[in-house]
Amino acid sequence: SPFEMMGDKYANCVRRYLGVEGKGAVKESFRLLVALCMNAVDEAVGQEDEEKWLTKLDATGWLEHVRYVLKGALCASRLVDGGHSVVIRCRRGWDRTPLITSLVMLLLDPYYRTLRGMQILIEQEWIRFGHKFSVRSGIAPGDPKQRAPLFLLWLDCVWQLTRQFPMSFEFNERFLLTLLWHLFSCRFGTFLATCERERTTLELERQTVSLWSYMSQSSMRKQYTNPFYDIAASDRILKPSANRRALA
């Protein structure tokens, strides 16, 4: 059962399974999604109608992953907003856990919807928390089975939020795409290594440039700023829809 009491020692606690799948399932859905998009590029315009495209998109399972992550974050945010304490964990702690926690913080706290707040959120919940960026992105040599687009899945979830609440985020789509690009570019040290110990050993802070320094330049901020951002509209708890029709 998704609702399971955890014994006498935790009589007032309830364990809830959120249905967010692991890296293997996410990786396979992404592979199918990429194949679908590549086929669409090769086909003549107008050859496949929108209904068939959406059916094939649904078959990849990618939006189902997005939906479950959004549902999980919404569930946790409602509990926190209701005054309850919430512990979020997955088997290892560095993959699905930040997927949920970082979205919960975006829903609850408008500060993390700003350019600076988003950078702090990623640094805190993903980088410092120990998400294996180099391994999951495939930058580091190793077992290909360990690669998985989990951070990309999270960025997709964030993008879905920006579509549903276009006035509540200071950053725009270009900001998210830049994050994704430099996840693989190796131009900055921000997404290199797999944990804080590795970053310290490799002296990345001294030997590389931070992506945040680059993106925080005044000339760059203009490119990443959402012109429709309204501080008043942002100053509230977000309650997104995880309905399939609400996702794109």
What tens digit of pLDDT does each residue of 33-90 get? 999 988 876 565 455 567 788 889 999 999 999 999 999 999 999 999 999 999 888 7
Instruction: Name the pTM for this structure.
Output: 0.89
Which run of H or of E encompasses 200? helix 196-201
Ranges of the chain whose pLDDT falls below 50: 1-5, 45
Catalytic residues: 90
Specify the pLDDT at position 180. 95
pLDDT score of 144: 82
pLDDT value of position 48: 55
DSSP per-residue codes, 1-70: --EEE--GGGTT-EEE------HHHHHHHHHHHHHHHHHHHHSPTTSS-HHHHHHHHHHH-HHHHHHHHH
pLDDT of res. 168? 97
What single DSSP character describes residue 89?
-
Distant-in-sequence, close-in-space partners of 198: CB < 8 Å, separation ≥ 6: none
Three-class SS of residue 93?
coil
Place of tokens 């194949």: 35
Q: What is the pLDDT of residue 3?
A: 41
